[in-house]
Amino acid sequence: MKQALVVIDAQQELIEGNEDEQAVYRKDELLETINAVISKAIEAKVHIIFVRDKDVAGGEGEGFQVHKTIHVPTSAVYFDKLATNAFYQTGLLDYLQANEVQHLVMMGCKTEHCVDTAVRTATVNGFDVTLVADGHSTNGSRSLSPEDIVTHHNDILHGHYNVDHFSLVRNADEALFEPSHNRYR
């Protein structure tokens, strides 16, 4: 089965925060987890994809780039987006289909916006998804703490399905690139 790791909006300014927004929840742990999963992806020889939000840092400069402590392999592919949805007018879907990818491991920022939307969109577009439970984060909202948002999304996205394809939530220390979706069909 062909697979891909999709890292969403793991950008310098989004993770570290700026004058308008605070850093994401547990940023140091998040960065360690992203690097650990990238290592697993390299070992599993899967496609590694980074999606960047052009709204971050005005779409330019160091703040727009993938966080400087993330070990981005030279073979990584990038897609830049203007919308919350990583699939909207980015070429991501075409790339995945052209490479016959069937399973996506997803992680990144922000949980309640871009991560949630990517997971749900992927399932309706024919992909099984594994969301890395400890591999996504946010800086919270006016009504919910970042911890509550992450916990809530891990709960509601585990088993989220669209008839043929669905998402599971697993921790980074599990065998992420050994999908277990068929056990639940």
The residue among 122, 120, 132 whose CA lies nearest residue 169 is 132
Q: What is the CATH number of the domain that holds 86?
A: 3.40.50.850
The residue among 66, 163, 77, 169 whose CA lies nearest residue 116 is 169
The residues, any chain, with a CB within 8 Å of residue 101's CB and separated by 6 or more, are: 2, 3, 4, 47, 127
Q: Tell me, what amino acid is at 143?
A: S
pLDDT band for position 185 (cuts 50, 70, 90): confident
The two three-digit tokens of residue 94, written as one number: 């075409």
Structural domain including 84 reads: 2-184
Give the distance between the most distant pair of CA atoms in the chain: 47
**DSSP code for 22:** P
Q: How does pLDDT run across 18-55, given as a tens digit for each residue?
A: 999 999 999 999 999 999 999 999 999 999 999 999 99
138 in Cβ contact with 110 (< 8 Å): yes
Q: How does pLDDT run across 137-174, given as a tens digit for each residue?
A: 999 999 999 999 999 999 999 998 767 899 999 999 99
The number of distinct structural domains making up the chain is 1
Q: How does pLDDT run across 55-111, given as a tens digit for each residue?
A: 999 999 999 999 999 999 999 999 999 999 999 999 999 999 999 999 999 999 999
pTM over 0.75, yes/no: yes
| Size (the chain), residues | 185
